[in-house]
Amino acid sequence: MDYSWALDFLKTLEKASITTELKKKELVTLLAADPNDSKLLFNLADRVRAQYMSNAVHLRGIIEISNYCRQNCHYCGLRCDNKKLGRYRLSYEEIYKTAEEAVNIGYKTLVLQAGEDNHYSPLEIALLIKAIKKLDVAITLSLGEHDYETYGLWREAGADRYLLKHETADPVLYQKIRPGKTLEERLKCQTWLKELGYQLGSGCMVGLPGQTLDTLAQDLLLLKKMAVEMAGIGPFIPHPDTPLAASKGGSLEMTLKMVALARIIMPLVHLPSTTALGTIHPQGRELALQGGANVVMPNVSPSQYRELYQIYPNKICVKDEPEHCKSCITGKILALGRTIGTDYGHSPKLQGGY
């Protein structure tokens, strides 16, 4: 029996427990751990999370304001070429009312999410941000790529955070699955967002076709290099009405390893336990919370539209009312011995000013 690989794993794990500076090769060694050994990785990530981020899990309510999208990403059900999907967009009044309801059931952060939909003018979104901010909540925008001026306008209107995932750190794969787009442009947008003082959320999918352990390690190093405040890491789930319908998709195990390593190399980052993880495994979200994650983002969109925001199939909670999800997830979090965050849940990397 050759134990050299196991020794290498243990040595690297030991290094991970004393430094956040891991090299690509070391990340690959840890990502290659077999299911018995990866438990050690999850335990380490949980210890790092407890030490740096407290016991609180932050809840962010997502309002999916429109499922129109001008982009054609190969992996996503909202892509413009998917003619099978019924499209909707919420009016200004509907968005505001949904926000009010979410605040009334206790959310301290609201995420306004949509495909890249040109229907709303930058000014209209700015006015909405101003109005919602008066409800005393933090606002995260997840509205895709826009120019510097638009991002600036929204920031000035009061938006606190922006979620724009880099999706994959492999520039060749990126161009293949996001036709007409480049990783470089994406990172340019992220740089602008940081410059404008947003707390930046990025992230990637796990299990894209053609992705290797090397690419995944690159994803982690890119998140660290961009100094993100939040990293959303979820499994890729093939959608039947997209070019990647026949792909395999990401596994629970590999996604959990990515979340754990993100915690280990970026102790102060907010890490959501994603809905996609809860979709591929009934205990997915709980397992991520026990392996480094500290955020959950339940859906608070009006129920008649929820099924139409079909980025991937079989999404959990599409038939559940916001109040139900809030108490359901609260119960699950408390059962893990954790608490629910009671403040805005800003990044602990920020000192004052928020």
**Binding site residues, ligand FES, CB under 6 A:** 298, 317, 320, 324-325, 328-329
Interface with ligand SF4 (CB under 6 A), residue from 8, 37, 94, 116: 116
Interface with ligand 5AD (CB under 6 A), residue from 49, 60, 165, 332: 165
Q: Quick check: 207 binds ligand 5AD (CB under 6 A)?
A: no
What is the DSSP secondary-structure string of 78-123? T-TT-TTS---B--HHHHHHHHHHHHHTT-SEEEEEESS-TTS-HH
Nearest to 155 by CA among 199, 91, 102, 201: 199
Binding-site size for ligand SF4 (CB under 6 A) equals 9
Residues in 109-138 at the binding interface with ligand 5AD, rule: CB under 6 A: none
Q: Which is nearer to ligand 5AD, 206 or 287 (CB)?
A: 206
Q: Quick check: 60 binds ligand 5AD (CB under 6 A)?
A: no
Contacts of 253 (CB under 8 A, 6+ apart): 35, 38
Interface with ligand SF4 (CB under 6 A), residue from 8, 10, 135, 144: 144
Strand, helix or coil for residue 276: helix
CA atoms within a 13 Å half-sphere pointing along the CA-CB vector of 253: 11
Dist. CA 89–CA 300, nearest whole Å: 15
Q: Quick check: 22 binds ligand SF4 (CB under 6 A)?
A: no
CA distances from 352 to 33, 227, 238, 265, 346 (A): 40, 18, 42, 24, 10
Q: Quick check: 117 binds ligand SF4 (CB under 6 A)?
A: no
199: amino acid identity, one letter: Q
Tell me the window of 65-73, 122-130, 217-225, 269-277 that interacts with ligand SF4 (CB under 6 A).
Answer: 65-73
Q: Quick check: 239 binds ligand 5AD (CB under 6 A)?
A: yes
Dist. CA 145–CA 73, nearest whole Å: 13
Interface with ligand 5AD (CB under 6 A), residue from 45, 128, 311, 325: 311
- The b/e string for 54-87 (b: 16+ C-beta within 10 A; e otherwise) is eebbbbbbbbbbbbbbebbbbbbbbbeebeebee
Dist. CA 222–CA 227, nearest whole Å: 9
Residues in 312-331 at the binding interface with ligand 5AD, rule: CB under 6 A: 312
Nearest to 204 by CA among 156, 254, 145, 160: 254
Q: Quick check: 341 binds ligand SF4 (CB under 6 A)?
A: no
Q: Which is nearer to ligand SF4, 98 or 242 (CB)?
A: 242
- The b/e string for 129-156 (b: 16+ C-beta within 10 A; e otherwise) is bebbbeeebbbbbbbbbbeeebbbbbbe
Interface with ligand SF4 (CB under 6 A), residue from 115, 207, 291, 292: 115
Tell me the window of 21-29, 70-78, 246-254, 300-308 that interacts with ligand SF4 (CB under 6 A).
Answer: 70-78
Tell me the window of 57-65, 71-79, 251-259, 313-321 that interacts with ligand SF4 (CB under 6 A).
Answer: 71-79
Q: How many CB atoms lie within 10 A of CB 293?
A: 30
To ligand FES, the closest distance from the beta carbon of 222 in angstroms equals 30
Q: Which is nearer to ligand 5AD, 132 or 311 (CB)?
A: 311
Tell me the window of 72-80, 104-112, 184-192, 280-288 that interacts with ligand SF4 (CB under 6 A).
Answer: 72-80
Q: Which residues contact ligand SF4 by CB under 6 A?
A: 69, 71, 73, 76, 78-79, 115-116, 144
